[in-house]
Structure 1
């Protein structure tokens, strides 16, 4: 999962990112509220970890923007040194899903993050078979069938297709797709991604007449939409 972390203390963002990276997540640290907002306008993240007290924009101010502008399903964890009941109520009222009091305990951070991600993305933790209408993804074997008929597909194409279906209707930035599918090979040519997207669209028959549209989002990335009617 791709997680954005906001704290004006670099040692704190280093600690949080170290813990989350060791748990298999991709972590992006930010030291100011304006910096993270600028990035949130351009990039996609699966979760946010926000400090309460940031000099330029407070955690609650960032959170209110997030709840107003971004999908409501994105989980937000507050990390704060403020332990008063009124402070906690204010954070939750602003739209936080959970909170932790500093100093951070590593195992608790991992447990809370995993719990929020499971709640927000339950299909990510389902069985080895994931179904979307006529599409059946078998995650262990990398096998994909459409209406019972197998589709010849590479592992990268499988991963890319599953990423789109798991984020149906959500615009995904090119950087997000790159990290999610190619992770350790981030220097691939831009054309490589476009070629894979084109193959996925063709092999899975993601066309309007079949109820889906896999379309580019100008100067951003791609989005898979399910069409109605």
Structure 2
């Protein structure tokens, strides 16, 4: 998922960013309500994490604006250091889907993100995002830098498998099982051929922030290129 983080404290914002990324999500941080409002109108997000106390307002005002402007399809979780019951009630009445008291516990935060998204989109498969790449599993579409890519069904299935396992060492047997099925008659060379084609089509050489790394005698790792 692609998550908007509204948090004015740079340390807390960086911490939330790290936690979100550990859950294999992408995100963008905003330090004021005004910046957040401009951001969600210019870019599509799957969920928002909103601090309650802000330099130019509060989370309740942001939530009310969000529900009137964007609607109810965007799940929102309020994160704040205040745990008084009136604040919790105010957040939920303003339109929050959930509420977390700082400091956010990593596993709890990721679980609540998943739960809020699931409630908002029951039965809907996710849109996977990583930098300039976006995969809409439901519509069977993959875009790079906003441009739809032409892929065969197996290339698309392989791309989904890779984006769902970013940073992991994947054997050829694992990819054969996930993409072609356990009863397939094809061999490991088929995996190599499709990986080569996908690497070329999607430019997975590091130029767009991601690369496909061959691991001799084993398989592949799909990883981010920092810097």
TM-score range, shorter chain: 0.5 to 0.7
* Distance in 1 separating the partners of 2:124 and 2:24: 14
CA contact (8 A) 1:118 1:125 kept: no
Task: Look up the SS of the partner of 1:50 in the other structure.
Answer: strand
Task: State the Cα deviation string for residues 89-145 of structure 1 (Å, max 9, x = none).
Answer: 01100000000111211111111111111111233459xxxxxxxxx9798xx9xxx
Paired position in structure 2 for 1:45: 45
Is residue 124–residue 138 contact of structure 2 (8 Å, CA) maintained in 1? no
Q: What TM-score, normalized to structure 2?
A: 0.57
Aligned pairs for 1:1-229 (under 5 A) are 1-124=1-124, 153=153, 155=155, 187=208
**Any unmatched runs of 5+ in structure 1?**
127-135, 143-150, 161-181, 189-229
- C-alpha separation in 1, matches of 2:152 and 2:16: 41
Distance 1:82 1:137, change over 3 A: closer
Q: Specify the SS of the correspondent of 1:110.
A: helix
Q: Is the 8 A contact 1:34 1:57 kept in 2?
A: no
Task: Work out the number of aligned pairs and report it.
Answer: 148
Q: What is the TM-score normalised by the length of structure 1?
A: 0.56
- Contact 1:32/1:56 (8 A) holds in 2: yes
